[in-house]
Structure 1
């Protein structure tokens, strides 16, 4: 049973990697007040740079769901508060009896500078985007309903950054293994929408880990595990 409340903070791990799009990605943004002729379903962009981003909430939600489904013992996925204890420990729990904060802090992933420089030189349908024309066809009337979906093109790369709160050093290795398992599941799944049609295939590479603690003994311990953690995460790449 998880202990309720805010835990002691023994240190932090900053995990970085590169996310590469193996196929076009669509994570929907707002299409409110779109002019006539505009894309029906645009992807989400940074409001300042107008470049595509991968929201941290999308990554967190996808990883948690994949792990919860994989560790669930029931045919129908359980309520979020009934997730496996290891999943709740890593991603947090809002359940009154076991209220706990997530050990993982996700950030939005922005396009790498090299990837942006390459993409902006290409002839694209939209700013750093491609438009995919698709149809849904009614089974009863055979009437087609065409639509335009904006995607971030395959080959684009994004900077991934994740902070892990070290609360229990004895659970650190198990937590990192679970995180690695989630990333490996994502390699075989998809991110964003329309995944059954081939959208959103991603891969991770170039994992690095930075450690920090205010306690010298904890810092020494984290430093001793740094290479092992990096190897575990690199092992999740397929």
Structure 2
């Protein structure tokens, strides 16, 4: 296929509010010894919790796919394929660039001063029952406490201005669905409810302020 011409970039940011305890599993290497069975993902340098861009991308794409009633990537609508990219016979670079997002500094300061179970985290005791043996399996799960705020951001590559409205409408649909679903694990138990506020869109290069204003008006409906 012909190389797409990059016409500009749009940087999209928002505040991601954790409404209920959030758990995105990480390596036990970063958990205090004996603290929890299932720690959340932390930045290796700061030890602060992060939300991986891959988790956000995968969740939003999955929700949009379910909305369309498809399970296979090759049966997705063209708009989903160009937003998130495809591999295989049809190679499409993703127009959306997700980032690992970090807790904002105000939330870090508040939680550092709070009496939390772990550094910037809480521990929730869960218990599952084996339906065959009846044995209990108690576990300690580390969560980002409700009330924490993360600095959400992503970049959209503008390669066809005529498709901007369709692309951003689909992205807004995915973000709206996420707020009615959950992020991370144990969603059926009430974990991972999130909410977005304070949308901002900044244009770069050939993408003008008019484009940024149009995108912002769509995202404010999320």
> 2:179 pairs with 171, 175, 187, which one?
187
Name whichever of 151-160 and 133-142 sits farther off.
133-142
Matched, 1:20 2:17: yes
2:88 — aligned with what? Answer: 95
Which segments of 5 or more consecutive residues in structure 2 lack a partner in the other structure? none
- The aligned residue for residue 83 of structure 1 is 76
Aligned equivalents of 1:134 and 1:211: distance in 2? 45
Is 1:168 aligned to residue 148 of structure 2?
no
SS of 2:48's partner is: coil
Contact 1:12 1:211 in 2 (8 A): yes
Give the CA deviation at 1:78.
2.5
Q: TM-score, normalised by structure 2?
A: 0.95
User: Aligned-pair distance for 1:95?
Assistant: 2.8
Which residue does the alignment assign to 1:11? 8
Q: After TM superposition, give the deviation of residue 234 of structure 1 in Å.
A: 1.1
33 and 188 in structure 1: CA distance in 2 versus 1, 3 angstrom threshold: closer
Q: 1:40 aligns with which of 26, 37, 40?
A: 37
Change (3 A) 1:140 1:197: same
Deviation for aligned residue 1:228: 2.2
What's the offset of the Cα at 1:143? Answer: 1.8
The residue number in structure 1 matching 2:215 is 229
The one of 131, 137, 159 equivalent to 1:139 is 131
Q: Is the 8 A contact 2:85 2:94 kept in 1?
A: yes
User: Does the CA-based 8 Å contact 1:57-1:106 persist in structure 2?
Assistant: yes
SS in 2 for 1:120: helix
Rounded to whole Å, the distance in 1 between the matches of 2:15 and 2:32 is 35
Q: 1:182 to 1:123 in 2, by over 3 A?
A: same
CA distance in 1, matches of 2:88, 2:65: 16
* Closer/same/farther in 2, CA of residues 114 and 141 from structure 1, 3 Å limit: same
- Deviations along 1:142-183, one digit per CA (max 9) or x if unpaired, are 221111000000000000110000000000011011100000
- Check the 8 A contact 1:23/1:198 in 2, yes or no: yes
Distance change (3 Å), C-alpha of 1:5 and 1:125: farther
Off by >4 Å, runs of 4+ in structure 1:
32-36
Deviation of the 1:120 alpha carbon = 0.8
Per the alignment, residue 53 of structure 1 pairs with 50
The answer (yes or no) to whether the contact 1:6–1:100 under 8 Å persists in 2 is no
Is 1:120 aligned to residue 117 of structure 2?
no
**Structure 1 stretches of 5 or more lacking a match?**
none
The Cα shift of 1:140 comes to 3.0
